[in-house]
Amino acid sequence: MLVWPTLRGTDVPPQWEGLLDRLDDLSPRIEALEEGVALIDVTGLEPMYGSERRVAARAVALAGMYPVRAGIGDNRWLASLAVRLARGEERAACLILPAGSGRATLAPMPIGLLPADQAVRDRFSLFGLTTMAQLAGLPRSAVAAQFGEVGERLQALARGEDPRPLVPRRRPERLATSVRFEPPAEGVTEITLALRRAATALTDRLGGRHLAPGRAVLTLDREAAPPLSVLLALPEP
């Protein structure tokens, strides 16, 4: 089973990597497809967490205050479709497609739900294909002759089939250091020199392992003011 939680809207929180780390505690097999979208293998989690709905609810709860959608299906395609069709409360929505029910569940659905470009959609329309069942029921050879490899792939999806495996992400390593100013620093020069020394120490540790940083986060604790955090995405070497 796969559950696919995705943040609603376009606002992905800066704590996205932290959310992925929390999902790692739910399942060791997480694939981050893009910012705000994660694919989770929840196979075998029922003995620990209960029913599939409870597993999905736990994934949603790990997102904290952020609104999410979750879907469970037998494969990537069915899970992603479940998310698109999920409806629920303002903060969370979840839809579960029962195991083994993919083709039957898809049968009455419009063919427009398939991930096809407009040209392919227009050709489907010319052939009078409007539902998943109509495409799924055609001989594979006929679909291949008319629509090529793209048509074969879409027909497989219409039948609830998707052989693409989940590719687990490698949990990123994090190195941290801190500098304490006693008494509190008052000048920019003092802070700059301290930060330069700290950054050099961290990069030396990475260099010794032939690694490079992907991003840097600087957090300043200030007197009589809230902490200040700055995120810097670094280019690939």
Cα–Cα distance measured from residue 131 to residue 213, given in angstroms and rounded to the nearest whole number: 48
Angle, helices 52-62 vs 16-24, to 10°: value is 150
Cα–Cα distance measured from residue 96 to residue 105, given in angstroms and rounded to the nearest whole number: 11
Domain span(s) for CATH 1.10.150.20 in the chain: 103-158
pLDDT tens, position by position, 137-150: 999 999 999 999 99
In this prediction, residue 9 carries a pLDDT of: 45
Give Cβ neighbours of residue 138 (< 8 Å, ≥ 6 apart).
155
Helix (H) / strand (E) element for 126: namely: helix 118-126
Provide the residue-wise pLDDT of the chain in tens; the chain has 237 residues.
454 445 544 455 556 777 788 888 888 888 987 777 888 888 888 888 888 888 888 888 887 777 788 889 999 999 989 988 887 655 677 888 988 999 999 999 999 999 999 999 999 999 999 999 999 999 999 999 999 999 999 999 999 999 999 988 877 777 888 888 888 887 888 888 998 999 899 888 888 888 888 778 888 888 888 888 887 877 766
Cα–Cα distance measured from residue 158 to residue 189, given in angstroms and rounded to the nearest whole number: 63
Cα–Cα distance measured from residue 206 to residue 213, given in angstroms and rounded to the nearest whole number: 8
At the topology level of CATH, where does 2-100 sit? Alpha-Beta Plaits (3.30.70)
Q: Which residues pair with 32 in a beta bridge?
A: 38
Name the token pair of 47.
């003995």
Domain span(s) for CATH 3.30.70.270 in the chain: 2-100
At the topology level of CATH, where does 103-158 sit? DNA polymerase; domain 1 (1.10.150)
Name the token pair of 115.
């991930």
In this prediction, residue 107 carries a pLDDT of: 97
Q: Which residues pair with 167 in a beta bridge?
A: none
Cα–Cα distance measured from residue 57 to residue 3, given in angstroms and rounded to the nearest whole number: 10
